[in-house]
């Protein structure tokens, strides 16, 4: 009887799970691009379990971007690597031998790492009952439905009973297995959570982020499919030849410290609070989106948008969902998230569906896309974004300004690039034939190459090459970022155009000086071939005899000095 009863319960449970799973897809499909379903071979009415399994299978597939990439033999890890790519490099600590339960984690770590415990105790993960008790007037009320969605998802995966509620999301759930283990052995079970671990509960967000692989598709394959994006940023990182090949591993891992969104979610949602309100603020993007080649946060902060945020952002209600931010939070200017996470009126974790320039206008073929139907469709999506606050005519005028200013900067760079390439073709770069070591494998030598910003030896790169590479990779990008983020000085004086002009002037100076020296050398060589001491040309003979006389005078002086020294 017990066996029969058990089978009956299982059958009923299975029916309920299917019924509950069936309630999910319509709601789930609304914010996930159809391209993702096509990419993983599912229909939008797939169950949460099927969707999770399909996305995770692709996510963990080395052939589709997981792991150490094609330069794995060159990518030598350092101790920090395990935290950037846990799947490839993390191993549980052998020195921690305890087998512990749920309560033991916080009891121990409140002394060992009190910051972790304090952050977790203040998080939603530790206070699910508080979320269940929220009332409609509370701006966080939407989280109640989100929690119910998470529980339906877990039931579909068999990780939560039909009538069971999730009590909390504790250390073991993230660092061992979600809601299935009560005790763990540190030496065997401990893991660092990667994106598919977070996706077990946050399936919609995981799917939205992974859909970047499917929507970042370029008309002429100017970029590989799915790039640039957060979903494949680690893959792009490990397959950048110079970062794989350079001996300075700690420098290379500085790039990985930003390029690991593919592997983890805590670059935006800081552990162990994982605060949504925090992740909605521009500072959440600032750690990575700054600096010499993508000065996004600087340009935003110096725009009118950023100024309004700086003056009034502390009064805005960050608990209100992004979709309601302008209507209910008191927000009066856009943030990074309000612009880049919005697409046709909906908000999600795919931030590349409107990308047209991809931050780097110097990438060959990017500019040629701007007048294509592909680009015009994305432009219309930007018009919808901007008209949340601006008139359509204003929005179109400024978007047109962005394109034309970027093209003007690109034209200046192309002119300078042609000069440097001609110097290289003519063999006139300093040391080109005598002092030009090859870059480390897998890079191959060439001029105006990305590796020349991160590696130097002998005359590789020459100063003129470095200037040209930085002009395209950095100065032109800063011009585009400045104009795209409405920082006037950022594309005219402080950065952008003036910096391009400065680099252009230096390149032209280099070219003139190098070619003048080359011309003088050729003239001297030709003079040496044409004239000799015994040639009948009197002018040449006088010049040759003059040089010979000087040498004889020096030699005579030396002989006289040696003779006097002997006498002394």
- Residues 397, 512: one domain? yes
Lookup: tokens for 387: 């008209």
Please say if 493 is a catalytic residue: yes
Q: Which letter does DSSP use for residue 368 in this model?
A: G
Does residue 180 belong to any structural domain of this protein?
no
Specify the 3-state DSSP secondary structure of 521.
helix
Q: State the pLDDT at residue 31.
A: 80
Q: pLDDT for 527-546, tens place per residue?
A: 876 654 444 444 444 444 45
Over residues 450-474, the mean pLDDT reads 97
Residue 303 predicted with pLDDT over 70 = yes
Confidence of residue 145 (pLDDT cuts 50, 70, 90): very high
- Residues 512, 464: one domain? yes
Does residue 214 belong to any structural domain of this protein?
no
- Residues 542, 558: one domain? yes
Residues 153, 200: Cα–Cα separation, whole Å = 8
Length of the chain: 568
Does residue 397 belong to any structural domain of this protein?
yes
- Interstrand relation of 99-101 and 342-343 (parallel, antiparallel or unpaired): unpaired
Residues 450, 343: Cα–Cα separation, whole Å = 32
Does residue 285 belong to any structural domain of this protein?
no
Does residue 424 belong to any structural domain of this protein?
yes
The CATH number linked to 500 is: 1.20.850.10
User: Inter-axis angle of helices 114-121 and 102-112, to 10 degrees?
Assistant: 130
Does residue 495 belong to any structural domain of this protein?
yes
Span of 30-44, 370-384, 409-423, 458-472 with lowest mean pLDDT: 30-44
Phi, psi of 101 (to 5 degrees): -100, -175
Instruction: List b or e across 13-49, with b for residues whose CB sees 16 or more CB atoms inside 10 angstroms.
Output: eeeebeebbeebbeebbebbbebbbebbebeeebbbb
Residue corresponding to tokens 């969707």: 51
- Interstrand relation of 346-347 and 342-343 (parallel, antiparallel or unpaired): antiparallel
What is the value of pTM for the model shown?
A: 0.87
Residue 194 predicted with pLDDT over 90 = yes
- Residues 436, 489: one domain? yes
- Residues 522, 563: one domain? no
Q: Are 320 and 139 within 8 A, CB to CB?
A: yes
Residues 449, 52: Cα–Cα separation, whole Å = 40
Active-site residue, selected from the candidate residues 138, 493, 509, 537: 493
Instruction: List b or e across 539-553, with b for residues whose CB sees 16 or more CB atoms inside 10 angstroms.
Output: eeeeebeeeeeeeee
Over residues 380-387, the mean pLDDT reads 97
Q: Are 295 and 482 within 8 A, CB to CB?
A: yes
Residues 158, 154: Cα–Cα separation, whole Å = 6
Q: State the pLDDT at residue 530.
A: 61
Confidence of residue 172 (pLDDT cuts 50, 70, 90): very high
- Residues 439, 555: one domain? no
Q: pLDDT for 3-42, tens place per residue?
A: 333 333 333 333 333 444 444 544 444 589 999 999 999 9
Confidence of residue 499 (pLDDT cuts 50, 70, 90): very high
Specify the 3-state DSSP secondary structure of 407.
helix
Q: State the pLDDT at residue 178.
A: 86
Q: Are 317 and 329 within 8 A, CB to CB?
A: yes
Please say if 259 is a catalytic residue: yes
Confidence of residue 550 (pLDDT cuts 50, 70, 90): low
Q: pLDDT for 247-295, tens place per residue?
A: 999 999 999 999 999 999 999 999 999 999 999 999 999 999 999 999 9
Over residues 342-359, the mean pLDDT reads 95
Confidence of residue 567 (pLDDT cuts 50, 70, 90): low
- Residues 491, 546: one domain? no
Specify the 3-state DSSP secondary structure of 184.
strand
Phi, psi of 368 (to 5 degrees): -65, -20
Q: Which of 12, 20, 6 is nearest to 155 (CA)?
A: 20
Range of the domain at 476: 392-528
Q: Are 208 and 343 within 8 A, CB to CB?
A: no
User: Inter-axis angle of helices 392-425 and 463-470, to 10 degrees?
Assistant: 160
Does residue 108 belong to any structural domain of this protein?
no
Provide the domain count of the chain.
2
- Residues 556, 524: one domain? no
- Residues 407, 481: one domain? yes
Q: Are 78 and 243 within 8 A, CB to CB?
A: no
Active-site residue, selected from the candidate residues 230, 259, 272, 349: 259
* Three-state secondary structure string covering 547-559: HHHHHHHHHHHHH
Q: pLDDT for 76-107, tens place per residue?
A: 899 999 999 999 999 999 888 889 888 899 99
- Interstrand relation of 342-343 and 183-185 (parallel, antiparallel or unpaired): unpaired
CA dihedral for 460, 464, 467, 470, sign (positive or negative): negative
Residue 64 predicted with pLDDT over 80 = yes
Q: pLDDT for 218-243, tens place per residue?
A: 998 899 999 999 999 999 999 999 99
Over residues 187-210, the mean pLDDT reads 95
Please say if 360 is a catalytic residue: yes
Specify the 3-state DSSP secondary structure of 351.
coil
- Residues 468, 542: one domain? no
Please say if 568 is a catalytic residue: no
What whole-number percentage of the chain has pLDDT above 70?
88
Does residue 346 belong to any structural domain of this protein?
no
Residues 412, 463: Cα–Cα separation, whole Å = 19
Q: pLDDT for 242-252, tens place per residue?
A: 999 999 999 99
- Residues 439, 548: one domain? no
Q: State the pLDDT at residue 422.
A: 98
Active-site residue, selected from the candidate residues 87, 294, 340, 349: 294
- Residues 430, 501: one domain? yes
Active-site residue, selected from the candidate residues 185, 266, 293, 324: 293
237, with CB counted inside 10 A (0-12, 13-18, 19+), is buried
Mean pLDDT (the chain, rounded):
89
Over residues 409-434, the mean pLDDT reads 97
Q: Are 409 and 480 within 8 A, CB to CB?
A: yes
Residue 315 predicted with pLDDT over 70 = yes
Q: Which letter does DSSP use for residue 347 in this model?
A: E
Residue 130 predicted with pLDDT over 60 = yes
CA dihedral for 166, 167, 168, 173, sign (positive or negative): negative
Active-site residue, selected from the candidate residues 234, 300, 360, 504: 360
Specify the 3-state DSSP secondary structure of 432.
coil
Q: Are 331 and 325 within 8 A, CB to CB?
A: yes
Q: State the pLDDT at residue 180.
A: 77
Q: Where are the beta strands (DSSP E) in 202-328?
A: none
Please say if 343 is a catalytic residue: no
């Amino acid at each position: 009887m017990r066996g029969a009863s058990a089978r009956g319960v299982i059958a009923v449970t299975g029916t309920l799970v299917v019924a509950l799973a069936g309630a999910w897809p319509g709601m789930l499909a609304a914010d996930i691009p159809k391209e993702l379903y096509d990419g993983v071979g599912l229909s939008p009415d797939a169950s949460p379990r099927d969707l999770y399994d399909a996305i995770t299978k692709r996510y963990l597939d080395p052939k589709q971007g997981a792991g150490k990439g094609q330069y794995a033999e060159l990518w030598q890890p350092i101790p920090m690597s395990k935290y950037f790519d846990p799947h490839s490099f993390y191993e549980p600590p052998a020195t921690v031998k305890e087998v512990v339960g749920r309560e033991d984690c916080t009891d121990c770590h409140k002394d060992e790492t009190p910051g972790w415990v304090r952050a977790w105790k203040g998080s939603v993960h530790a206070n699910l009952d508080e979320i269940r008790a929220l009332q409609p007037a509370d701006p966080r009320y939407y989280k109640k439905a989100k929690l119910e969605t998470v529980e339906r998802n877990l039931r579909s995966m068999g990780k939560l009973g039909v009538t069971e509620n999730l009590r909390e999301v504790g250390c073991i759930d993230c660092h061992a297995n979600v809601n299935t283990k009560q005790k763990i052995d540190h030496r065997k079970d401990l893991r660092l959570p990667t994106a598919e671990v977070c996706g077990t509960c946050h399936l919609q967000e995981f799917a939205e982020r992974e859909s970047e692989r499917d929507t970042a598709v370029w008309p002429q394959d100017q970029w590989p499919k799915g790039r640039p994006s957060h979903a494949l940023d680690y893959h792009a990182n490990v397959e950048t030849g110079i970062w794989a090949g350079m001996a300075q591993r700690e420098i290379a891992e500085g790039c990985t410290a930003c390029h690991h969104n593919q592997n983890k979610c805590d670059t935006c949602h800081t552990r162990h609070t994982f605060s949504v309100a925090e992740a909605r603020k521009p500072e959440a993007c600032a750690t990575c989106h700054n600096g010499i080649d993508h000065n996004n946060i600087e340009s935003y902060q110096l725009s009118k948008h950023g100024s309004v945020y700086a003056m009034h952002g502390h009064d805005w209600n960050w608990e209100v969902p992004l979709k309601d931010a302008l209507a209910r939070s008191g927000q009066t200017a856009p943030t990074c998230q309000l612009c880049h996470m919005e697409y046709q009126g909906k908000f999600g974790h795919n931030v590349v569906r409107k990308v047209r320039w991809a931050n780097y206008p110097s990438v060959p073929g990017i500019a040629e896309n701007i007048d294509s139907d592909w680009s015009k469709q994305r432009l219309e999506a930007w018009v919808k974004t901007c008209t949340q606050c601006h008139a359509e005519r204003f929005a179109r005028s400024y978007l047109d300004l962005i394109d034309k200013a970027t093209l003007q900067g690109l034209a200046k760079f192309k002119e300078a690039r042609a000069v440097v390439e001609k110097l290289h073709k003519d063999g006139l770069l300093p040391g080109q034939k005598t002092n030009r070591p090859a870059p480390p494998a897998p890079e191959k030598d060439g001029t105006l190459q990305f590796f020349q910003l991160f590696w130097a030896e002998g005359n590789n790169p020459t100063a003129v090459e470095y200037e040209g590479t930085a002009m395209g990779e950095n100065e032109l990008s800063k011009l585009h970022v400045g104009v795209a983020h409405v920082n006037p000085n950022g594309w005219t004086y402080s950065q952008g155009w003036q910096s391009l002009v400065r680099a252009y002037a230096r390149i032209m100076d280099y070219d003139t000086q190098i070619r003048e020296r080359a011309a003088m050398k050729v003239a001297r060589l030709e003079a040496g071939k044409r004239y000799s001491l015994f040639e009948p040309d009197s002018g040449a003979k006088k010049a040759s005899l003059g040089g010979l006389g000087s040498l004889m005078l020096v030699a005579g002086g030396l002989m006289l000095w040696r003779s006097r020294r002997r006498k002394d």
